[in-house]
Chains A and B, each alone.
Chain A
Amino acid sequence: ETGVTQTPRHLVMGMTNKKSLKCEQHLGHNAMYWYKQSAKKPLELMFVYNFKEQTENNSVPSRFSPECPNSSHLFLHLHTLQPEDSALYLCASSQGLADSYEQYFGPGTRLTVT
């Protein structure tokens, strides 16, 4: 049990659908992250929130829209996705952004865009 949960675990959606991914952390952390993991590629950081404020948006297309209503919850709203967006989407949290704080990951949502 990592203390970070994600729902759904699997999602299949068409290119015209709208869906949302949910992440919740039970660790009392202040920072939360969305990553994209594709096969044989490095983890790609998408968004970072610290104390509910977005601190990073790594040139992510606007069809991905994050929302962080409080320090424990993070959403990723999906709209008009492309087949190349199929990947594992991982949520993570950490105590803060400073040097030594390790990130704790959720189990991920396996997304397939058809």
Chain B
Amino acid sequence: GQNIDQPTEMTATEGAIVQINCTYQTSGFNGLFWYQQHAGEAPTFLSYNVLDGLEEKGRFSSFLSRSKGYSYLLLKELQMKDSASYLCAVKDSNYQLIWGAGTKLIIKP
């Protein structure tokens, strides 16, 4: 079966750095996405990785290792507004997105 694993909840301090991990087992691989979802709102796109390595976009970076079936989202200089759920999703061989259950990130002052 297809499976995406990520931690249920994480807590971090304002101004700090946090890394949210995602491991996957899917039928084929056509890229990995990270989305942010604030409570009561729609998910919004953060990043896309299809090749191994690190993609940096401002305070957010995303890393992919296809051989390990592993990705992480790195958030730097955390702000209170970063409190949200972070969803990892993999596009499988049928180009369907397989989603993780999301990691709820709590930022404390």
On A, residues with C-beta under 8 Å from B are: 2, 4, 40-43, 45, 48, 56, 90, 97-100, 102-108
Given the complex of chains A and B, what is the CA–CA distance between A48 and B24 in angstroms? 22
Given the complex of chains A and B, what is the CA–CA distance between A40 and B37 in angstroms? 13
Would A99 and B95 be within 8 Å (CB), given that A40-B101, A43-B87 are in contact?
yes
Q: Are B4 and A2 in contact (CB under 8 A)?
A: no
Q: Are A99 and B41 in contact (CB under 8 A)?
A: no
Give the contacting residue for B96; candidates A42, A48, A99, A105; CB below 8 A. A48
Given the complex of chains A and B, what is the CA–CA distance between A103 and B102 in angstroms? 16
Enumerate the 7 nearest inter-chain pairs by beta-carbon distance, A residue then B residue, closest first. A105-B42, A43-B99, A42-B99, A102-B45, A99-B30, A97-B95, A42-B101
Indicate whether B7 reaches chain A with its CB closer than 8 angstroms. Answer: no
Per DSSP, chain A at the interface is loop
Indicate whether B11 reaches chain A with its CB closer than 8 angstroms. Answer: no
Q: Are B43 and A105 in contact (CB under 8 A)?
A: yes
Given the complex of chains A and B, what is the CA–CA distance between A108 and B98 in angstroms? 19
Indicate whether B76 reaches chain A with its CB closer than 8 angstroms. Answer: no
Would A2 and B42 be within 8 Å (CB), given that A99-B30, A99-B50, A102-B33 are in contact?
yes
Which residues in B have their C-beta under 8 angstroms from that of A2?
A: 42, 44
Give the contacting residue for A108; candidates B33, B42, B50, B101; CB below 8 A. B42
Q: Are A90 and B50 in contact (CB under 8 A)?
A: no
Q: Are B99 and A56 in contact (CB under 8 A)?
A: no
List 27 A-B residue pairs with CB atoms under 8 Å apart, sorted by A's residue number. A2-B42, A2-B44, A4-B42, A40-B101, A41-B101, A42-B99, A43-B97, A43-B99, A45-B97, A48-B96, A56-B94, A90-B43, A97-B95, A98-B95, A99-B30, A99-B50, A99-B95, A100-B31, A100-B50, A102-B48, A103-B45, A105-B42, A105-B43, A105-B44, A107-B41, A107-B42, A108-B42
